């Protein structure tokens, strides 16, 4: 008789299991940044939604930290809000930094290791009035903010992400111009990209001067750009160009210090060289790229297979296609840099939770595969813990393990929350877990011996 293999798939001891959030999306009443201002303009946010109280974390994040602890999570990635910490240029609010100290201390008291993101799409209004990231002065402004923040919090945190998803910020704010500042300008895109790369470098050096033992990196939004037709030279070119711009310019630059085209012509930046102690990967899906002669689209149109499996759709259509193998490929690719890897975001919008348990397990299985192949992956952060304000999608996309009513603040765990709690407690993908939550995966995760 041929039997299925039933041994559990164990992760390394000390592996980090957590969730990820950003300040503006969960804190509530962040009234001093450009996103709050953007939300007040009719038509900018799907369904006319506003962040409002968000998830009420500024008042009571600790209640959700208790829920995380009850789910056996041992880490959480959260953001700090620049506009709270530095509400006016050069003036710092010690009450705000004290609140962040309370949050980090609360996580540590519950046995959870904090990972802190210093910039996650939002800017203080004073900075935005000066041109934001288009103004070269932003590099020194960011360094000043980072110095104050890390100096104040370094006894409570040693995992830092300088910038979250710089290419998403660029694409949405300038390339597509559907987020603030809505400036559809190629020259501005190049300036902002260069300034963010340089700001990461000086922030990295600043953090290490204050905290030599810190581990510092960024969270890269990595989409696996693949040719629509693998036999088409033009489709392959378009996919490669998008990957070069979206991934290689940043990661290679932070590795060897060279500023590559279109940001520069190989000029060396000392602060940027070897400025990654870790690599954060935010992975949601892959894109199939078909060549177009339009340079405004980087010569490629992004598509999904019509026969794919898709998540909930947002304001502008399908959010993601199920493509978990792409996560394995990305992990293996970035492992060439010899740095620890953290999956700093992964998830899907799924309001009724009918896909999330299986999608989550499929992606985590790819993390397991990468570790078995030799990659140094140290943590997985699901996006997100509780439904939150999803930028221009408002409350229309639901990524949470916990369902949230933003009006009443009532919370209800989805089935995937119990599954993730069991996975974290066991530090393994167990046969019993898959049998209960995603039996269709049994044959793949626990194959029959040949």
pLDDT in tens, the chain (450 residues): 334 455 899 999 999 999 999 999 999 999 999 999 999 999 999 999 999 999 999 999 999 999 999 999 999 999 999 999 999 999 999 999 999 999 999 999 999 999 999 999 999 999 999 999 999 999 999 999 999 999 999 999 999 999 999 999 999 999 999 999 999 999 999 999 999 999 999 999 999 999 999 999 999 999 889 999 999 999 999 999 999 999 999 999 999 999 999 999 989 999 999 999 999 999 999 999 999 998 888 899 998 988 999 999 999 999 999 999 999 999 999 999 999 999 999 999 999 999 999 999 999 999 999 999 999 999 999 999 999 999 999 999 999 999 999 999 999 999 999 999 999 999 999 999 999 999 999 999 998 876
Residues 6+ away with beta carbon under 8 Å from 281: 219, 220, 222, 327, 330, 331, 334, 341, 342, 343, 344, 345
User: Is residue 432 assigned to a domain?
Assistant: yes
Structure-token pair, residue 82: 């620049």
User: Is residue 4 assigned to a domain?
Assistant: no
Helix axes 186-210, 249-256, angle to 10 degrees: 40
Q: Is 412 helix (H, G, I), strand (E, B) or coil?
A: strand
User: Other C-beta atoms within 10 Å of 259: how many?
Assistant: 20
Q: For tokens 């009532």, what's the residue?
A: 410
Nearest to 69 by CA among 373, 427, 428, 425: 425
User: Is residue 1 assigned to a domain?
Assistant: no
Distance between CA atoms of residues 24 and 87, nearest Å? 14
Nearest to 388 by CA among 74, 43, 79, 31: 79
DSSP-derived pairing of the beta strands 300-303 and 313-314: unpaired
User: Is residue 2 assigned to a domain?
Assistant: no
Range of the structural domain that residue 353 is part of: 9-445
315-347 pLDDT, tens digit per residue, is 999 999 999 999 999 999 999 999 999 999 999
The pLDDT value recorded for residue 2 is 38
User: Is residue 368 assigned to a domain?
Assistant: yes
Q: For tokens 């309001």, what's the residue?
A: 351
Strand partners for 279: 341
User: Is residue 264 assigned to a domain?
Assistant: yes
Distance between CA atoms of residues 421 and 258, nearest Å? 43
Distance between CA atoms of residues 139 and 63, nearest Å? 36
What does pTM read for this prediction? Answer: 0.96
User: Is residue 450 assigned to a domain?
Assistant: no
State how many domains the chain has.
1
Distance between CA atoms of residues 196 and 169, nearest Å? 10
Question: In this structure, what CATH number is given to the domain that contains residue 193?
Answer: 3.20.20.80
User: Is residue 105 assigned to a domain?
Assistant: yes
The pLDDT value recorded for residue 12 is 98
């Amino acid at each position: 008789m041929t039997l299925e293999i039933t041994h559990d798939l164990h992760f390394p001891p000390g592996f980090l299991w957590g969730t990820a959030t950003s300040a503006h999306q969960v804190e509530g009443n962040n009234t001093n940044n450009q996103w709050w201002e953007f939300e007040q303009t009719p038509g900018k946010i799907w369904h006319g939604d506003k962040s409002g109280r968000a998830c009420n974390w500024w008042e009571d994040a600790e209640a959700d930290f208790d829920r995380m602890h009850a789910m056996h999570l041992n880490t959480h990635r959260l953001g700090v809000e620049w506009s709270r910490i530095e509400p006016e240029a050069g003036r710092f609010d010690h009450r705000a930094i004290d609140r962040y100290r309370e949050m980090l201390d609360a996580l540590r008291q519950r046995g959870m290791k904090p990972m802190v993101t210093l910039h996650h799409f939002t800017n203080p209004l004073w900075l935005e009035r000066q041109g934001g990231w288009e103004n070269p002065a932003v590099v020194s402004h960011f360094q000043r903010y980072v110095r104050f923040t890390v100096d104040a919090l370094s006894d409570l945190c040693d995992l830092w992400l300088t910038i979250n998803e710089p290419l998403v910020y660029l694409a949405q704010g300038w390339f597509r111009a559907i987020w603030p500042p809505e400036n559809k300008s190629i020259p501005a895109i190049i300036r902002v990209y260069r300034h963010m790369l340089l700001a990461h470098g000086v922030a990295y050096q600043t953090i290490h001067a204050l905290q030599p033992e810190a581990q510092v990196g960024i969270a890269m939004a990595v989409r696996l750009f693949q040719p629509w037709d693998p036999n088409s030279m033009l489709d392959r070119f378009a996919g490669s160009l998008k990957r070069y711009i979206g991934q290689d310019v940043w990661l290679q630059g932070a590795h060897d210090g060279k500023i590559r085209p279109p940001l520069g012509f190989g000029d060396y930046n000392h602060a940027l060289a070897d400025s990654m102690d870790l690599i954060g990967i935010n992975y949601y899906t892959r894109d199939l790229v078909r060549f177009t002669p339009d340079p405004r689209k980087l010569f490629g149109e992004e598509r999904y297979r019509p026969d794919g499996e898709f998540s909930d759709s947002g304001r502008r259509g399908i959010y993601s296609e199920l493509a978990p193998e792409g996560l394995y490929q990305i992990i293996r690719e970035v492992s060439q840099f010899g740095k620890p890897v953290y999956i700093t975001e992964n998830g899907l919008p799924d309001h009724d939770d009918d896909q999330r348990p299986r999608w989550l397990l499929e992606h985590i299985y790819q993390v397991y595969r990468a570790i078995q192949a030799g990659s140094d992956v140290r943590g997985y952060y699901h996006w997100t813990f509780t439904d939150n304000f999803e930028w221009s999608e408002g409350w229309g996309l639901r990524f949470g393990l916990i369902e949230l009513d933003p009006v009443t603040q009532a919370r209800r765990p989805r089935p995937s929350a119990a599954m993730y709690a069991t996975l974290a407690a066991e530090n393994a993908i167990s046969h019993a877990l898959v049998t209960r939550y995603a039996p269709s995966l049994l044959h793949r995760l626990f194959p029959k011996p040949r």
